[in-house]
Each structure stands twice: as C-alpha cells, then as structure tokens.
Structure 1
Amino acid sequence: MSTPARHYPARHLDLAGMGHHPAPYAMPPNGERPAAGLRPTLHSAPPGSSPSAPAPAGDALADYRIAREPYYRQVSDELELFEAAYAVRMPVMIKGPTGCGKTRFIEHMAWRLGKPLVTVACHEDLTASDLVGRFLLDAQGTRWHDGPLALAARLGAICYLDEVVEARQDTTVVIHPLSDARRMLMLEKKGEVLHAHPDFQLVISYNPGYQSLLKDLKQSTKQRFAALDFDYPEHEVEVEIVAHESGVDRDTAAKLVHIGARARNLKGHGLVEGMSTRMLIHAGSLIARSVAPLTACRMALVRPLTDDADMRDVLDAAVSTYF
C-alpha cells in the first residue's frame, strides 16, 4: 500500500524515527558542532517573511529555522493563546503526557511565527555551562562559545527546553532572570550581562505524570511561566492524525485509536503510561507497509509498553478484538 508524503513533524506526537527522513542538519557557519544538548532544527524563513522563503546568507540562526510547515491539528485555542503569549514575549510552559504533541506544537508555532527554534533535550547531566556557554580551546587559543540558551537570547530565537524537570534544579535556576521582567542572562564566566533580543522567547515542557518530590519544578520557576495543558486528542481528531501521519485508511486508524483508548484506561492499573498517539502512528506506519495488523500492534504497541506477561496478554486480547 502506498503512503502519502508526510511533512516533518506533526501534531500530537514527537515523531522522531517515524520512517520519514528530514533533510540532514547543516553544520554551523564556523564548522563547529552545536553545544551539548542542542538539537538543531531545519531551515525556514527569517522573521517577517514567508515561512517557506530561504534563510538569508550569513544568517547565524539558519540551522535552527524550520523549512516546511510541521503538520499540526489544532484541538482548541492553543494556537491563538501561544501567539498572544509570544506577542508580549511571555515565557510558556507546556504540560502533558508523553507522545501527545508538545514538541510538535512548539515546532509548528516556530514555523507559524517565522522564528528560529533552538531545542535543548534536558537530562540529569545537563549543567548550567551546557545551557549558557563556556570557554573552549581551539587552534587560535581560548574562545567563548555560547550555549543554546545564550545563543537564542543573543540572536532572537525561541528556546525550547524539552522535559525540563529532567535537568537538575540548580541548572534550571539560570533561566530565572530570562523568564521575568529583567529578560537577561548572567554569563558569569565571561563577565557579561546578556540582555535578551526583542524576539527571544523561552518555552519549557514536561510530563506531570513523572513528577516526584525529587523531579519537579520549583514554585519560583513555575510562577514565571504561563501554562498550557495538553492531553491526548478526542477520538475523531486522533483518528484524523493517525491516518494522516501513518498513511493507513481511516477505518484502520479508528481501530488503532480504540485500542489506545482501552490501554489508557489501564493507566495506574498495571500500566505506568497509556499508549500515546505516537505509538499508534508507529503501528499504523507498519500496517501501511504491509505488516500484519496483529504483528504490527504487538511490535509497536504492546511490547514497548510493558514487560509483564499478564498485562501483555490483556493488551494482546484487546488488539485481537479489533484485528
């Protein structure tokens, strides 16, 4: 079965590894690799021009611009709310379960606003220097290299800290001066106070389901942000998304969404998390490539979700009900 062309990433999931292959990342103009934790996005238009226009020559943020519109299915008024927040450069916090579309939404909004997007995948080894920058040795001697946060603040990009609670609290404190009325970043090692570019905005995301006393944001951090709650979309909307992204017909997509809904009802009753929209698209993508539906669902839905034999039997039975 042939599948329609899909444009890099879509609403309601973070589509890394979906089977489509975005254009390779270009190296920065100086030939150096991005700072630790920095994930470059694709090229898109400069601010104020058509989103599909090429980046201007010498654009230092060219590696972080998005070339094509990421597919996104709006479910409420989140587009308008984010645009209003960006208009006043208000920091935004996106909360929701894994695979529900947080990262896709930010990528879509960066394209929609015509702004470069600097993404940092947060983890427990992320240091303040990884975000802000450090002095490094090269053939010419010691030079300062901006980290992703400083780069975005200096040149005017949207900086997206993905799964921010995974970073240590002493690391995330460095964003405080950028996320209040001061809009500045202290580069202590360099002896510089960096005042944020007028186009700079800070966005963070995390999954509240994974919160604990040891992994949560401080109130002093939370209260600097406006917040948008995300969840898995309603049935018909999710069917539309799964069909569009995987290439399966609407009937097959509807069956996958029904399976996902039944699995989500087991969250807290044997499952830590339910089946995400991303997982449903994985299964649909395999089915679209002539993999037997039962096999595709076991591979993409059941086996990744749990290692418990009894729970696998329950989920396999649910899959058999529809396929």
Structure 2
Amino acid sequence: MTKTIPYYHSIGKEEEIFSHTYSNKIPLLLKGPTGTGKSRFIEYMAHKLDKKLITIACHEETSSTDLIGRFIIKGAETVWVDGPMTLAVKEGAIIYLDEIAEARPDVIVAIHSLTDHRRELFIDKLGITIKAHEDFMLVASFNPGYQRGFKELKPSTKQRFSALSFDYPEAKQEIEILINETKIDADNAKKLVAIGTKIRNLTELGLTETVSTRLLVNAATLIKSGLPKRLSTHIAIVEPLTDDLQIVQSLKDLCDLMI
C-alpha cells in the first residue's frame, strides 16, 4: 500500500536544514506558535527520508517512564516493555517530542545523553545503556510565546539542540495552503487569510494564542463541506480563541464583516 505524502508548503530553507541536521546526527528544536506547521513538517520530512516517525504529545504528566519503558505483570511473570523512546533508539526512528516544555523535568534529564556526543539512552530500571541506532534522530518542539510565564526550557537544554523557528506563512503562501488542504475556492481562501492576518494584528485583545493556520484550515474545510461561511468562521476561528464573551462578540462581528 502506497503511503500518502503529507502536504507541506516550504516557506524557507527548513527542508535543507532538517536534512543536514539529520545526516550530522544533531538534535533539532522547532520553535513557534501553535498551528504553524511544525508537526506537519516533521511528518513530511520523515516521509521524504523514508524513516519511521514516533510522535509523543507531551503534557504535564508525561514522565521518563512513559518514554523509556516499564515493567508490567503478564500472567504469572513480570516483563519489561520498551517505551517509544527506547524503540526509536533501537530501531533508528525519528522521535518527535511535541511541546517538550510541558513534560515533567525527568524527561529532560532522560534525553541529555541522547542530545550530545554520546547518543546513548540509560535505562536505570534495567541497569543498561543503549547506543542509539545510526539513523536515530531526536526532534522536539515548543511554543516560546505560550510558555513565557509558565514552563520554560532551560538555556542548558536549548543549547543541546540546533533550533529552527516557525511562524505564520505570508498571505500568498497561506492561501495556497488552504486551497491545497481543503480544495476551497481562491476567493474564500483569500477572505479567511485576511481574517487571520487581521486578528493576528489585534494585539490589544491580549489573546494567549492567535489565529493559527490550522484554524483557518478548519474553517475552510467546514465552508467547503457546505456549512454557512459565517457559522464556519465563528465555530472554527472565534470560539477556539477565547472564552471572553465581549471579545467573542467583537471577533464574530469582525469575521461576519470580512467573510
């Protein structure tokens, strides 16, 4: 069965950068707002390089045990089960730790020996050290804007990676993304991108997150499926951004006017 190529629209030299970091066995950190294509980019590059990709969506309960492995009771015996990190190290897969700053501190400690010249994973519960497969690569992402004031990556951790910044595409590129992703017509794609650009510039609203390309894709998908345009923008763009009723109404009025 032929794998479907993930659609990704390059906006710079990120493909070239990824290829060089991969071939030189340098861990890579993707920085940028939510919904700017970081995860899709990794899927695309894994497909392009024909490598297995293991993605971990990190959260406040994600621990090193979740990544490395644990003992489980199976019948009358206790057996060890490798976690996704261990599998990636053994098999030579690309492992992607999405929103790594959200994970517990022991996760950062666990990856230290994988992010320097050693490229080793120590499994303390087994008392063994595994040398990473030649094709293994560690990629992580985090959102600096969102993390500010919350969890943050220490400078000593950041410096274990090469880093690549992601941001929202230029209007022309974002229109192309919407058309390719959803098959929406160009006129509506332009209107949605204009809405996204306008809201992103409304810094006085104090939104924790602003309109991501992902939200625009969702709105375009709903419009393409036949849901009324104003309703589509309201539920796909406005409501996910804030719970403040006044801001919701202001954004709704703006979208209604522009769509």
TM-score (norm 2): 0.96
Structure 1 segment 196-215 matched on structure 2, within 5 A: 196-212=132-148, 214-215=150-151
Matches within 5 A, 1:160-179: 160-179=96-115
What's the CA shift string for 1:171-212, capped at 9, x where partnerless? 221000001000001011111111000000000001111123
Structure 1, unaligned runs of 5 or more: 1-42, 44-51, 53-66
CA-based RMSD: 1.4
Q: Which amino acid letter does the alignment assign opposite residue 206 of structure 1?
A: F
Deviation at 1:268, TM superposition (A): 5.2
Number of residues of Structure 1 aligned to a counterpart in Structure 2:
259
Q: Match for residue 17 of structure 2?
A: 81
Shift in CA distance, 268/116, structure 1 to aligned 2, threshold 3 Å? farther
Closer, same or farther in 2 for the Cα pair 1:267/1:178, shift >3 Å? same
The residue number in structure 2 matching 1:46 is none
Counterpart pick for 1:189 among 125, 138, 141: 125
Structure number with higher helix proportion: 2
- Is the Cα contact below 8 Å between 1:262 and 1:318 reproduced in 2? no
- Aligned-partner residue type, residue 272 of structure 1: T
Q: Distance in 2 between matches of 1:82 and 1:314?
A: 41
Counterpart for residue 89 of structure 2: 153
Is contact 1:270-1:311 (8 Å) kept? no
The TM-score with structure 1 as length reference comes to 0.78
**What are the superposed Cα offsets for residues 128-170 of structure 1, whole Å, 9 maximum, x if unpaired?**
1111111111126111111111110011100110100100122
2:212 maps to 1:255: no
Q: Provide the C-alpha distance between the structure 1 equivalents of 2:71 and 2:177, rounded to a whole number of angstroms.
A: 45
Unaligned runs of 5+ in 2: none
Whether the aligned pair in 2 keeps the contact of 1:99 and 1:278 (CA below 8 Å) is yes
Partner of 1:243: 179
Write out per-residue CA displacement over residues 278-311 of structure 1, whole angstroms, 9 at most, x where no aligned residue: 1111111111111111111111111121122221
Question: Which residue of structure 2 lines up, in the alignment, with residue 233 of structure 1?
Answer: 169
Answer yes or no: is the 8 Å Cα contact 2:205–2:247 preserved in 1.
no
CA distance in 2, matches of 1:238, 1:75: 10
Percent identity, aligned pairs only, is 47
Rate the CA distance shift 1:103–1:309 in 2: closer, same or farther, 3 A. same
In the alignment, the residues of structure 2 paired with residue 112 and residue 308 of structure 1 have an alpha-carbon distance, to the nearest angstrom, of 42
State the one-letter code of the partner of 2:200: R
1:92 to 28, 34, 40: 28
